[in-house]
Structure 1
Amino acid sequence: MSTHDELVRPDRLGPALAAATGDGRWRTLRAALVSGGKSNLTFLLSSAAGELVLRRPPSGTLLPKAHDMAREARVQRALAGTAVPVPQIVFEDLGGDLLGVPCYVMRRVPGHVLRDSLPDGYAPAAPDKVAMADALVDVLVDLHALDPYTVGLSGHGRPEGFYARQVATWYQQWQQSKMDDVPAIDALVAKLRARTPRDVRAAIVHGDYRLDNCLLDRHNPGRITAVLDWELSTLGHPLADVGMLLFYWTESGEPRPVLTPALTATAGFPGRRHLVDRYVARTGADLADLLTFWAYAHFKFAVIAQGVWTRSLAGTMADQDFGDLSHEVVRIAERGLELLENAA
């Protein structure tokens, strides 16, 4: 049995999918790891019946509240039929009986995942890249405009005290995954704790919103066909998503990130200011606290990077090796600290 077969268990998953879909051809399936995932693992499942996508946590010991398959599946079910495009869930085993861990399977949605380069002939001109940026912002606006209680997500998070609780939660994750003390992390946390963003209407927050967590229409770069990776979704302050989007949106001349793509730093892509201006034009949002959430995004991703490194060293990432990420953790934290120090 191959490593991937141990993680996917086609002998068990195949019959379960055949029963769930009513198509016996799923009894015999093949699984291929989709590279790029730094937290949960994604496998493309194929058979004579077509293609589906499996999501499951990495192997090994997991941090508390991390890699939450139930959260991902729940929000995708709730958003089905809304203005926010998500893949259809076709099978769930949230008790972990089938693979030994919670998992779910969803329809494969056609579209491009854009990471380090564009497909040949795709979005060749600057207006195409601007349309891509606009579509990304517009779907985020649509997400934040939804009433979480109307779509059935009233228990998906606790909006009250969202910011302080997020900082505390991620600092706890840091304490559990760090290998050495990083002064920049502690200094950044201290500055974040000293800030208190104003309360706004609770929104559905994706938690990891970025270009490569979306699928782009293969023929129209100005259209998103699906938003993926809802593991960190919750109810909270919408600027948390805007801050994360700005963190991921690398501009020309900036250091190239190790774990995330820097496609947006290439010619033709608009800068962060364009994203912010479009979000404000669509929502009328008050951006007084945007810098706080942008710095918070740096802290959050520094902790994520530490977790990726820890899991990679432990061999729980399906043979994916991300190398020594200690310098990247420090760089990200120092940049977040710099943002707040320059604003003081």
Structure 2
Amino acid sequence: MGETGVTNPPGLDLRRLGEYLEEQRPGMLGGPLSGEVIAGGRSNLTYTVTDGRGRWVVRRPPLGHVLPTAHDMGREHRVISALSDTPVPVPYTVLLCEDTEVLGAPFYVMEHVEGVPYRSAEQLDALGAARTGGIAASMIDTLVDLHAVDPAAVGLADFGKPEGFLERQLRRWKKQLEASRSRELPGIDRLHERLSVRIPTSPEPAVVHGDYRLDNLLVGPDDEIKAVLDWEMSTLGDPLTDLALIITYSSAAMVGSTTVSNAHTAEGYPDADEIIARYAQRSGRDVSALDWYVGLAFFKLAVILEGIHYRHAQGKTVGEDFEGIGDVVPGLVDGGLKYLDGA
């Protein structure tokens, strides 16, 4: 495990990781590790590592500025492990390490699942409209499957505090906005205030992913969802927040930047009304108050991207295409205000 000449990706000491895996899972590795950062992530760092025989994925928090309550590796590992015997497709987890002496931050290791995280319209257009529509339908159906999981039955009864969930979401994202506020963002405080004055009553709680979108799913060659990834914001809460996030990711405010997915613009991808109708029909949930949830999703995404912009300005991001991410934020604020106005 101590061979020299191996290039470490940013934030990942491959020799130390190999030593730790040998300590915790004797015989797991057949040789020294090599690895690389998986492109496309905007928050936690994700790597593929291999010993030349097997392949795994390592997740750890970002370098530098880390917001309070975010990037909790233990939560990610716990929810993925808990969902392993449900209809929700998730990778097999290998181990969780919360000892920051190993890699400088908590991390976990899981199996590497083969599949494509469709991020661009160009990728989907190559498949054709029919296959694109089928993949989007599977995305929605998998979300319905997630929200149908009984948290207590999979050991997640204490995974969150559903009571007052929406109020806490507003407080949390306002707090994280303040932690990353480094420039004027006209309208963002007004968006928060408007959300605060009419908070809907939540339905029965469910396991909520927190960042559910097409490029956080791995799709196999049969167009089926092979794995749901990036559970860093998962909790027990209001399932309509996940549905609203899909709608927000499919909005015009997300078009025009290479830093966000434009998959929703592909021919055959369902529009917002079709997505909502399929979810409502298959889940049986009342979606009449969804406008408010979409306004919240715009606010949440604005805060998340502003945090990434803040880290990028500090030189603390790893990967490409971060330089324009701050340009998306004003459009999200405007989109949230317009949605609440019914425009």
> Which TM-score band applies after superposition, normalised by the shorter structure?
over 0.9
2:21 counterpart of 1:17: yes
8 A contact 1:44–1:52 mirrored in 2? yes
2:183 alignment partner, one of 180, 183, 190? 180
- Counterparts of 1:299 and 1:97 in 2: how far apart (Å)? 36
**SS in structure 2 at match of 1:141:** helix
2:333 counterpart of 1:330: no
Query: What displacement does 1:199 show?
Result: 2.6
Query: What displacement does 1:117 show?
Result: 4.7
- Counterparts of 1:297 and 1:120 in 2: how far apart (Å)? 25
Query: What displacement does 1:4 show?
Result: 3.9
1:196 alignment partner, one of 194, 199, 202? 199
Query: What displacement does 1:297 show?
Result: 0.5
Query: What displacement does 1:334 show?
Result: 0.7
Q: Which moved more, 1:224-233 or 1:277-286?
A: 277-286
2:126 counterpart of 1:136: no
**TM-align CA RMSD:** 2.1
What do residues 309-342 of structure 1 show as CA deviations (whole Å, max 9, x unaligned)?
A: 1111222222545114443211111110111123
2:88 counterpart of 1:84: yes
Counterpart of 1:232 in structure 2: which amino acid?
Answer: M
In the alignment, structure 1 segments of 5+ residues that lack a partner are none
Q: 1:110: which partner in 2?
A: 114
Shift in alpha-carbon separation, 1:177–1:282, aligned structure 2, 3 A: same
What do residues 123-154 of structure 1 show as CA deviations (whole Å, max 9, x unaligned)?
A: 32x22111111100111001001111111112
Counterpart of 1:13 in structure 2: which amino acid?
Answer: L
Superposed, which structure 2 residues align to 1:230-269 within 5 Å?
A: 230-250=231-251, 255-269=255-269
Superposed, which structure 2 residues align to 1:1-16 within 5 Å?
A: 4-5=8-9, 7-16=11-20
1:159 alignment partner, one of 157, 162, 182? 162
Tell me the TM-score normalised to structure 2 length: 0.93
**SS in structure 1 at match of 2:293:** helix
Q: 1:72: which partner in 2?
A: 76
**SS in structure 1 at match of 2:207:** strand
2:54 alignment partner, one of 44, 50, 53? 50
- Counterparts of 2:137 and 2:325 in 1: how far apart (Å)? 32
Counterpart of 1:203 in structure 2: which amino acid?
Answer: A
Tell me the TM-score normalised to structure 1 length: 0.93
- Counterparts of 2:180 and 2:34 in 1: how far apart (Å)? 34
Q: 1:299: which partner in 2?
A: 299
- Counterparts of 2:257 and 2:274 in 1: how far apart (Å)? 21
8 A contact 1:20–1:90 mirrored in 2? no
Query: What displacement does 1:224 show?
Result: 0.3
2:210 counterpart of 1:207: yes
In the alignment, structure 2 segments of 5+ residues that lack a partner are none
8 A contact 1:312–1:320 mirrored in 2? no
Shift in alpha-carbon separation, 1:284–1:319, aligned structure 2, 3 A: closer
Shift in alpha-carbon separation, 1:342–1:122, aligned structure 2, 3 A: closer
**Alignment length (residue pairs):** 339
Query: What displacement does 1:122 show?
Result: 5.8
What do residues 60-105 of structure 1 show as CA deviations (whole Å, max 9, x unaligned)?
A: 2311111111111010011011010100111211232310100001
8 A contact 1:4–1:318 mirrored in 2? no
What do residues 18-77 of structure 1 show as CA deviations (whole Å, max 9, x unaligned)?
A: 344443535401111111111000111122222110101111231111111111101001
Counterpart of 2:139 in structure 1: which amino acid?
Answer: L
- Percent identity over the alignment is 37
What do residues 202-238 of structure 1 show as CA deviations (whole Å, max 9, x unaligned)?
A: 10000000000000012x12x1000000000011111
Q: 1:98: which partner in 2?
A: 102
